[in-house]
Every structure is written in structure tokens, then in C-alpha cells.
Chains A and B, each alone.
Chain A
Amino acid sequence: MATQDASSPAATPATYESGTRMALRQLLRNRAAAIGLFGVLLIVLLAIFAPWIIPYDPTAIALSSKLQPPSFAHWLGTDHFGRDVLARMAYGARVSLTVGLSTVAFAALFGVPIGLLAGYVGGQLDNVLMRLMDAFLTFPPLLLGVAIVGLLGADLTTVTLALGIVQIPVLARVVRSSTLVVREETYITATRALGAGAWRLVSQHILRNILSPLVVQITIVFSAAIVAEASLSFLGLGVQPPTPSWGRDLSEARRFMVDAPWLFMAPTGFIIVSVMAINFMGDSLRDALDPRSWVRRAAPTKETADAPADR
């Protein structure tokens, strides 16, 4: 995909703006997208640069300073072990983002090929694959997570596996339905007439043209994974202490709701803000990537320019 993206501006006449750039411009014009992007960036930067920004170790126990309310020294206060809450939130963001990213990668690794195969080949194979996906969709997602993580033991791999499995059918469905539409487009017929093989058709042309719904769905999977990881940790099944995790810290804060309410407010706030920021980004991406919402001349020129250029 990357090579294709790099070569396409050359194939497109200079007077036309490329689809990617146009989408980017649309995105930047949108205020919700800007807020979402800002929120996501903030949390990502906090997670990456935590050791340099925050002068506390998230696991260092200092009982002399336990349960302190927010102050200049500890912006979000300290917990029952005297650990700095802001440090725990920043390092907890690492867990959330890692699980979110790896869940997306795992679900896409299986969901995208299954969806492409079902949508492109069709027929009996489509039927069998999609019924199988339907069966996986009937698993209550959180309970499957509880079963897998509870039985296999909690670490980042099992959590990712448990959360990713339920998202495979979600991605497969989106990819399949978009593939069904794209497969019938004239430019695909044209490319096939030019002698392109099935592999080239699917990997170069179909995959590229279903990217927008896929990317939007991926942001949804990403925020769902963050919530699901927090849920599992909240139930005591996620990453194990003393590793900081938003869900686990929230669960421990239940014992101190009367004496130290800031302990539950911090993880709650971090979860809500990050999920909201990702959702904002997803919604704006959907608008920006949908050529019908663009006012100016749009995608068709790009697509028609693509097919003959492939010779």
C-alpha cells in the first residue's frame, strides 16, 4: 500500500489534488477532529515521555506520603502506597495504548484477509466464512475476554488475544461489504481486462479503495479495546500489579472513595478523555474520507486515473 501511495501522485495530473491530501485538508478544517487529534496526541506524548516529564516512579512505595490530595508536588495526589497518581496514569497510558494497538493489529491480521477473501471470491466460501464470523459475534465480548484471560492467565499477550478475537468478525464484516461494492466497480473490471491477476487486484486495487471504511472501523476497534482492557483490569484479570493500569487503579480506588475521591477520578477521567478523543477522530475521519461529503471534485478522478496508469 505504501508504495502504491507513493507512486500515485505521479500518475495523477498535477492540476488534481490527491485524495489523501484532500482528505487531510478536510480533516484539519474540522474542529472536532482537531480536538480529537489534540487529545490523542496529548496522551500518546504523556505515555512516551513519562520518565522525562514526571519526576516520580509509578511503583515506588512511600508510605509517609500516602493518600495526599492533589498538590503542587503531586498534581493528582498520591494513592494508599504513597505513589504519585499522575505517574501511574502516564505509565498506565502505555498499557492502554499498547493493548489498543496490538488488538487492532491482531484483529486486522485475521479480519482483513478473511473479509477480502469472502468478499472477492464470494459463493460458498463467503457463506462459510461469514457464518463462522456470525458465530464469533454471538460471544458476549467481555465474557469471552473474562474466560480467555481468566483461564490462560493475565499478561499482555492473552489480553490482546482475548480482545482481538472478538474484533476479527467486526473488521471482516466491514471489509467484506466494502469489497463487495468495490469488486463491481468499472475500474476493477478494466484492470482485470488488462490482465491483472487476482492477487494484484485484491492487494493493490481493492484493498486501497476500501481503506476509508477500514480506517474508520479501526479507530472504533481501538477505543473499544482500551475500554475492554480497562474492564478486564478492573475485574482483576488484566495486567498484574504493580504495573500501573487505569482499570486496576480504578478498582483499587473503590476502597478509598470516601477518604480519597481523587483516586477514582483520575483513571475515570483518563479513560473518558482518551476514548472520547479517539471517537472524535474516528467520526471526523469518516467525514473526511467520504468523498460524497466533499464539495469539490473528488475521488472519481483519482480512481479513473488509477486504472489505466497501472499498465
Chain B
Amino acid sequence: MWSYLSKRIIQMPLVLVVVSITIFLIIRLTPGDPIQIMLGMQTSPEAVAALRAEFRLDEPWHMQYIYWVGDLLQGDFGRSIRLNAPVLQLLAERLPVSLALALSAMLFAVVVSIPLGLLAALKRNTWIDYLATGYTLFGFAVPNFALAMILIYVFSITLGWFPITGIGSGASTGQGLWGAIQPYVLPAVALGTLQTAIFTRLLRSSMIDVLNQDYMRTAQAKGLQPLVILLVHALKNAMIPFVTMLAIQFGYLIGIQVTIEHIFAIPGMGSAILSAVVNRDFPVIQGFVLVIATFFMLANILADILYGIIDPRIRY
């Protein structure tokens, strides 16, 4: 297992190089000059040239890339052209928001999917199984931004239970702990519903697999308590694919928040990239995409590690 993992970890920088060169190429080979956008058309050519030189935009793209990687290795993500602030500082502001949102979406997905998947597997072909299947089909089909609109209409506009915006703006209408949680509820549900569907379906099918195993019959024959059989023998084994899927989906959640951030006016990483793209703020796009890709890869490696730990049969 360790040799497999070390191979994966050694491959990581290589994959990141491919990812960063690709994003570099996309950015540099497309029209649109960030300096021109920022300064407008009336500025003197000298001022434009000076600023271009400051951000090394007058160099050929491969030299820019080498400079960028060199700075990166020293922990310098560069400066935002638009905001004239270090990209690292922006990351420090935006990353915690995105992580908190991904975590709350994950929490919602886990809290709903474990009982739902479990009950659906235990009570197959009953109303609860059909409910779980219906919910899963809906979760797979509804895009998160469309669900967000439905939630806002029902819970914010009609019922008035939740604020429409709130994360990072202090506009929460609640008090104390509820005030801190409240603005996260609707975005987390909208973002996490797809994951809920994935987890429910996965847990249901792996639970059905496990329930048909010989060792379940053995456990029953030994006269163990039904609850012990369910939790220790069945659920523990059914959770193996579930836990690895948790890790993979967490990495994924950080990269798909942009529409949800857009609707709920959340200052996360997705909205930062969106505005950086509009303003051609190259250093911000490069830095943020690299961080998100790193998280995604780390999540996948974590999934492999968890897989090996939980299931001793798995040998890489």
C-alpha cells in the first residue's frame, strides 16, 4: 500500500504541472489584456508598458510560466493585477469560506443519506425505499442553482425563515449559534443535494450486498442481537465504499460552488475566479485553480488511504 501511495504522491506534482501549464496556455493565448481593462483606453502607452513590465506580461508565456513556478516554490503566488493585493492574502480570505460551505454541504448530505440509505436497504420495496429512490432521482436531476432558487422561493420569500444572502456579510437574522448556522443552511442544502443522492444510492446498494453475505447468516445463527448485527457486522462493511466516496466528493464540492456563491452572494473561491476571469486577473485565476486542483487530488489520495485502512483485504 505504501509503495502505491508514494507513487501517487510523487505523481502529484507532475499532474499539477500539466494542470498549470494548461491553464497558463488558455489564459495567455486568449485575447484580452488585463492592464488595458484596468487602466482603460485613455492611459498613456508608457504607463501601460510600465505596468505590463511590472507583472512580467511583456515576456513570452513560457518565461512567465518559469518565473511563476519559481515564485510559487518560494511560497509566492504573485499579486492580483486588479486588486493590487497578494494572491495569497486573497486565498486566505476566500478558502475558509469555501471550506466551510463544502463542509456544511457534506454534513447535510451525510446526515440525510445514512438513515435514508440504511432504511431503504432494510425495507426494500416499501414506501420508504420508493421515497429514497424518488429523492435520489430528483437529486441527480436538479442542478444546484435551480434547487437554490426553489429553496429561496419557499423558505426565504414565502416563509421568511432564512436570509437570502448572509455568509460573510453579517446579515443573519438569527441570534447566537443559530445566527452563525442560519446563513449556511440554504446554500448547504442546495449544494449538497447531489451528494446526498450519490451517498444514499451507494449506501443502499452496498448495504443490500452486505445483507446477502454469508457472514450475516452466521451472525444471526450465533444468536447476536439484531442491532449488533446491523451496526457492527452490516453497517461497518457497507460503509467502506461510502467513506471513500465522502473523501472524493469533498474535493469535488470545493470546485463546484461557483453558482451557489453567485446566488447567495458568498465571498468564496468560485466567485473570486469568476470575477478574475471577467477582469483577466491572470495571477488570481492561476493560483486559485491550482489550489482547487490540489485539494481535489489530496481528497482522492485520502480516499485511497481510507480504503486501505478500513478494509484490510485491500492491498495495493
Contact surface of A with B, Cβ cutoff 8 Å: 131-132, 134-136, 138-143, 146-148, 150-152, 223, 227, 230-231, 234-235, 247, 250, 253-254, 257-258, 261, 264, 267-268, 271-272, 275-276, 279-280
Contact = CB atoms under 8 A, between A and B. Distances in A.
Interface string B20-36: 00110011001010000
B188 interface: no
A141 to B, nearest CB: 8
B277 A151 contact: yes
A235 B141 CA distance: 19
B273 A272 contact: no
Contacts of B150: 268
Contacts of A132: 18
Contacts of B142: 271-272, 275
Contacts of B263: 254
Counting chain B CB atoms within 10 Å of each CB, the highest count among A135, A230, A264 belongs to A135
A151 B26 contact: yes
20 contacts: A132-B18, A135-B15, A136-B22, A140-B252, A140-B293, A142-B255, A142-B256, A143-B270, A146-B258, A147-B273, A147-B289, A150-B278, A152-B30, A230-B145, A231-B145, A250-B146, A250-B149, A257-B157, A267-B146, A272-B142
Contacts of A280: 137
B140 A279 contact: yes
B279 to A, nearest CB: 10
A264 B149 contact: yes
A302 B230 CA distance: 44
Nearest to A227: B143
A230 B14 contact: no
Contacts of B140: 275-276, 279
Nearest to A150: B277
B121 interface: no
A142 B15 contact: no
Counting chain B CB atoms within 10 Å of each CB, the highest count among A146, A258, A272 belongs to A146
Contact of B26 (A141, A147, A227): A147
A151 B280 contact: yes
Counting chain A CB atoms within 10 Å of each CB, the highest count among B143, B280, B296 belongs to B143
A10 B199 CA distance: 46
A142 B255 CA distance: 8
A131 B11 contact: yes
Interface string B272-304: 011001101000010001001100110000000
Counting chain B CB atoms within 10 Å of each CB, the highest count among A132, A150, A227 belongs to A150
B64 interface: no
B237 interface: no
Contacts, number: 114
A135 B22 CA distance: 10
Given A140-B256, A147-B26, A151-B280, A250 B145 contact: yes
B137 A257 contact: no
Contact of A234 (B15, B26, B262, B297): B262
A147 B258 contact: no
A231 B273 contact: no
A257 B152 contact: yes
Contacts of B15: 131, 134-135, 138
B141 A143 contact: no
A270 to B, nearest CB: 10
Contacts of B182: none
Given A147-B27, A276-B137, A135 B145 contact: no
B4 interface: no
Contacts of B280: 151
A27 B222 CA distance: 44
Contacts of A147: 23, 26-27, 273, 277, 285, 289
Nearest to A283: B137
B259 A135 contact: no
A147 B137 CA distance: 30
A146 B274 contact: yes
B19 interface: yes
Nearest to A231: B259
B130 interface: no
